[in-house]
């Protein structure tokens, strides 16, 4: 592949990375905190493409003669297909299949941020699970709580509310699970996103995959909601 083609591919790659970083597309691949690095990487790739074109333009007048042009194999342009696929076909977020085949990734946090003294609590799946298991629901008892996640059903049909947790990117995503009790909707479809409202319960179970701790949540109301723009949770460490 000649320098012009290399520059074109660098530019396309940089533009694709910038497009992902400037939109919610990057949330399907990496945690939201890595967005600045994506934008920087895209800018560097575009700058490298511009530098390649400039170098080639400067080199040509001093080459002495044009020489025989070398035809590059057209098949090399197939390298652009993954770039267009990245833009046009965003991969689906990991869901119930991954959750059912991976044990809960719940770990003890370093600490627990203060919660408001009054009113309902809106918690993430990971935060509720960590507080329920490792803090024994100390600041959750008697408080109305709302949590959003997607539905997963284990091999026995037992329902869980799940959120996939990221340390870095989708490749290392692991589920955190909450078992459901109380006014559980009679019909639940895997991968449906729900906002559940209810209260803490000290009841626990074990994940059937890795025997990890899974707290229960007592539902008083549940409603379907659209999937969020960021379907993943960053790893919750308190």
| Per-residue pLDDT reduced to its tens digit, 51-85 | 777 777 777 665 554 445 555 555 556 666 666 66
Q: Are residues 104 and 212 in the same domain?
A: yes
Instruction: Using the 3D structure, point to which of 53, 88, 123 is the last residue of a domain.
Output: 88
Tell me what the mean pLDDT of segment 181-210 comes to.
Answer: 94
Q: Are residues 141 and 216 in the same domain?
A: yes
Q: Are residues 114 and 52 in the same domain?
A: no
Q: Are residues 109 and 204 in the same domain?
A: yes
Task: For residue 198, give the 3-state DSSP assignment.
Answer: strand
Among the listed residues 190, 191, 180, 203, the one whose alpha carbon sits nearest the alpha carbon of residue 231: 191
Q: Are residues 84 and 148 in the same domain?
A: no
Q: Are residues 217 and 121 in the same domain?
A: yes
CATH of the domain at 192: 2.40.50.140
Q: Residue 183 pLDDT > 90, yes or no?
A: yes
User: What is the distance between the alpha carbons of residues 89 and 28, in angstroms, rounded to a whole number?
Assistant: 11
Instruction: Using the 3D structure, point to which of 46, 69, 88 is the last residue of a domain.
Output: 88
User: What is the distance between the alpha carbons of residues 184 and 113, in angstroms, rounded to a whole number?
Assistant: 29
Tell me what the mean pLDDT of segment 27-56 comes to.
Answer: 74
Other C-beta atoms within 10 Å of 160: how many?
Answer: 27
Q: For 100-141, how does the pLDDT look when each residue is reduced to its tens digit (9 = 90+)? A: 888 998 988 888 888 988 888 999 999 999 999 999 999 999
Instruction: Using the 3D structure, point to which of 88, 109, 125 is the last residue of a domain.
Output: 88
Q: Are residues 63 and 80 in the same domain?
A: yes
The residue ranking higher by pLDDT, 80 or 46, is 46
Q: Please, which residues have CB within 8 angstroms of residue 142's CB and are 6 or more apart in sequence?
A: 199
Q: Are residues 84 and 107 in the same domain?
A: no
What is the pLDDT at residue 155?
85
Contact yes or no for 173/166 (Cβ under 8 A):
yes
Q: Are residues 77 and 157 in the same domain?
A: no
- Structural domain total, the chain: 2
* Structure token digits, residue 94: 């990991």
Q: Are residues 16 and 103 in the same domain?
A: no
Q: Is the dihedral angle over the CA atoms 36, 37, 38, 41 positive or is it negative?
A: positive
Q: Are residues 147 and 62 in the same domain?
A: no
What is the pLDDT at residue 63?
53
Q: Residue 35 pLDDT > 80, yes or no?
A: no
What integer best gives the mean pLDDT of the chain?
80
User: What is the distance between the alpha carbons of residues 128 and 140, in angstroms, rounded to a whole number?
Assistant: 9
- Can you give the residue range of the structural domain that contains 189? 96-234
Q: Are residues 102 and 185 in the same domain?
A: yes
Contact yes or no for 179/71 (Cβ under 8 A):
no
What is the pLDDT at residue 11?
74
Flag whether the pTM goes above 0.85: no
Q: Please, which residues have CB within 8 angstroms of residue 201's CB and are 6 or more apart in sequence?
A: 181, 215, 216, 217, 218
């Amino acid at each position: 592949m000649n320098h012009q083609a290399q520059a074109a591919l660098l530019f396309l790659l940089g533009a694709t990375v910038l497009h992902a970083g400037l939109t919610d597309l990057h949330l399907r691949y990496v945690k939201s905190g890595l967005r600045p690095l994506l934008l920087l990487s895209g800018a560097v790739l575009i700058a490298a493409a511009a530098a390649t074109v400039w170098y080639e333009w400067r080199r040509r007048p001093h080459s002495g003669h044009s020489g025989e042009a070398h035809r590059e194999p057209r098949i090399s342009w197939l390298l652009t297909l993954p770039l267009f696929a990245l833009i046009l076909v965003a991969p689906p977020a990991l869901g119930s299949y991954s959750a059912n085949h991976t044990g809960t990734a719940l770990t003890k946090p370093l600490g627990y941020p203060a919660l408001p003294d009054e009113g309902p609590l809106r918690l993430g799946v990971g935060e509720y699970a960590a507080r329920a298991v490792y803090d024994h629901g100390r600041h959750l008892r008697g408080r109305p709580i709302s949590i959003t996640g997607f539905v997963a059903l284990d091999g026995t049909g037992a329902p869980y509310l799940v959120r996939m947790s990221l340390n870095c990117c989708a490749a290392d995503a692991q589920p955190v699970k909450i078992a459901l009790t109380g006014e559980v909707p009679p019909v639940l479809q895997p991968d449906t996103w729900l906002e559940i409202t209810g209260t803490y319960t000290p009841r626990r179970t074990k994940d059937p995959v890795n025997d990890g701790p899974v707290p229960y949540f007592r539902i008083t109301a549940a409603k379907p909601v659209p999937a969020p723009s960021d379907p993943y949770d960053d790893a919750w460490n308190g």
